[in-house]
Amino acid sequence: MKKNCNVFTIVVVSVLFAACTPQPPTSDQVQQKRMETLVAEGVAQVGAPAIVNFQELRDMKETYELRDQTGLVIYVYLENMIPTIVPGHTSLGGKLTFVCVGTGYGLPYGTQFSNPEKVSWHERSGWLKLPQAEPNGLFMPSTAEGTWIKCKDPNGGKEVKPILLEPRGVYSPFKFPVDK
C-alpha cells in the first residue's frame, strides 16, 4: 500500500512539473520581442522629438471646435469626373489647381484626438478592447481618404476655417472664385 502511495505521489508530482514546463515561444512572440528591442534601441539612440508647442494638437482641437458650430455653411466642389482635358479646373487637366492659403499642415481625416480604444473589464469576458468615441461623440473610421486643412478666406476675409479635401471633392466654409 505504501509502495502504491509513493508511486502515485511520484506520478502526480511528475504531471504537475510537466504541466508547469514553459512552452517554447511562438515565432510571433520571438518577432515581437525582437521588434521591441529594436525600437527601444532606436529611441535610445535618437530620442523623442523635441515637441514643445504642440501646434498640430492645437490645430486639431480648433478644427473640432470649428466643425461643431451650428449654422455652418459649406460650399462643395467636385472634381470633373469626365475624362477630358479641362485646363485650369482640375488635376485631370494636367496641372495643379490652387485651393487656398493654408495655415499649418493638413490633418488626415482619420487622425484621432483621443485613443481609439479603451480597455474595459467585463465579469464574463475579462479585459476587452472597446472602441472609444471622440470628444464630439463620434467614432472615427480607422481609415479615411480626406484631409482637414485650415484655410484663409480666399475672398479677402480674415477668417481661417477648416476645409475637408478628399480625392474627388473639396468641402469649404468659403466660396471659391471659379478659375477663368
pLDDT per position as a tens digit, 79-132: 655 555 555 555 555 445 667 787 877 888 888 888 888 888 888 889 999 888
Rounded Cα gap, residues 139 and 106, in angstroms: 20
**Residues ≥6 apart with Cβ < 8 Å to 131:** 116, 117, 118, 139
Q: What is the pLDDT of residue 178?
A: 60
Rounded Cα gap, residues 171 and 165, in angstroms: 6
Average of per-residue pLDDT values in the chain = 76
Rounded Cα gap, residues 28 and 124, in angstroms: 28
Distance of alpha carbon 43 from the chain centroid: 21
β-pairing verdict for 160-166 and 102-108:
unpaired
User: How is the chain split into domains, by residue range?
Assistant: 1-48, 53-109+144-180, 114-139
Q: Is pLDDT above 50 for 72?
A: yes
Predicted structure pTM score: 0.53
CB-based contact 60:111 (threshold 8 Å):
yes
16 — pLDDT class (breaks 50, 70, 90): low
Alpha-helical runs (H) found in 55-152: 55-67
Q: What is the pLDDT of residue 7?
A: 65
Q: Find cell 515637441 and name the residue.
A: 51
The CA–CA distances, whole Å, from 9 to 5, 20, 65, 91, 139 equal 6, 17, 70, 81, 58
Rounded Cα gap, residues 153 and 155, in angstroms: 5
What percent of the chain is helix, strand and coil (3-state, nearest 5)?
Answer: 30, 20, 45
